[in-house]
Amino acid sequence: MTTIYMIENMEKIGIYEYRTEVYSLDFRGMMMIPTLLNDMLHAATCHAGERGYGYADMTSRNTTWVLSRIALEITDRKRLSEPILIHTWVESVERIFTYRCFEITTLDGESLGHSRSVWAAIDVDTRRPTSLEAIGLEDWLVQKECPVAPFTKILPAEEQPDIPEAPYKVKYSDLDINGHLNSVKYVEAMLDLFDIEVYRERSISRLEVIYQTEGRYGMELGLFRRQLQPDGFVTSICHQGKSICRAQVAF
């Protein structure tokens, strides 16, 4: 089924292969979620660049893509450490936001998970969203199933944290080419709020992230975690008492 679709939409769906070498796996030999997110951003970058709306194209319009939200659902965590394919396509486009989906599969096309993400093109100088109308994303839309539960309202972890606040200072290695805290580093920092014992026994089944404010070099941040259910948590990254990023983590 997936395979048929891939062929039909070959030009619209980008398919990229990733192999995580053992030294990049976690202590259980499992792929880390930030590594997968990194590969997904790599696939998105390649897909957009090959179709005329990549980083260079956006720069020429004095804009840059920023990730606003992402939800990732993993159905088979174990096989993520084998070679994988990341399929990515543009699902829809609105005036300010565009929705990009991902499916992660084995090399044989067996599904291991899905993700939906929301992107805006901001003006490099004003950092305000710009209209997506002139980019021509409409020509690239694909109506392929992406079974990820809808985005939710993520409760503030900083209001009833279940562990002490963890300080975090934005460093050189955290910065992306825009000079802001890299999208993957936000997630890495929030997932580090869970003890190694949690990762020894459990795997993340769903992760949802909302990026609210760009983290800048030298910012003194505070990380919070709040437990909502036995297997459900929210986390947040705050700056001067206000969250700049929130996540929901389900094991």
Question: Where do contacts with its own copies occur on this chain (CB under 8 A)?
Answer: 21-27, 29, 32, 34, 38, 41-42, 45-46, 55-56, 171-173, 175-179, 182-183, 188, 191-192, 194-196, 199, 217-218
Q: Closest distance between its own copies and the C-beta of residue 180, in Å?
A: 8
Closest contact distance (angstroms) between CB of 26 and its own copies is 6
User: Residue 225 and residue 216: Cα distance in Å, rounded?
Assistant: 22
Q: HSE-up of 130 (CA within 13 Å, CB side)?
A: 19
C-beta closer to its own copies: residue 1 or 22: 22
The DSSP line for 111-169 is EEEEEEEEEEEEETTT--B---GGGTGGGGB-------PPP-PPP-GGGS-SS--EEEE
Residue 216 beta carbon to its own copies: minimum distance, rounded to whole angstroms: 10
Residue 108 or 195: the one with the smaller Cβ distance to its own copies is 195
Tell me how far, at minimum, the Cβ of 25 lies from its own copies, in Å: 5
Shortest separation between residue 34's beta carbon and its own copies, angstroms: 6
123, amino acid identity: D
User: Quick one: 107 or 196, whose CB is closer to its own copies?
Assistant: 196
Q: What is the DSSP string of 170-211?
A: --GGGB-TTSBB-HHHHHHHHHTTS-HHHHHH----EEEEEE
Rounded to a whole number of angstroms, the minimum distance from the CB of residue 224 to its own copies is: 16
Strand partners, 204: none
- Cα angle 104, 4, 78 (rounded to 5 degrees) comes to 25
- The distance of closest approach from Cβ of residue 191 to its own copies in the complex, given in angstroms and rounded to an integer, is 7
Which DSSP helix (H) or strand (E) runs through 67?
A: strand 63-74
**Going by C-beta distance under 8 Å and a sequence separation of 6 or more, which residues neighbour residue 22?**
29
Query: Which residue's CB is nearer to its own copies, number 27 or number 150?
Result: 27
Is 5 or 72 the residue whose CB approaches its own copies more closely? Answer: 72
- Within 8 A by CB and 6+ apart from 128, the residues are 122
Q: Which residue, 56 or 149, is less far from its own copies as judged by CB? A: 56
Contact 236, 158 (CB under 8 A): yes
Comparison of 19 and 242: residue with beta carbon closer to its own copies: 19
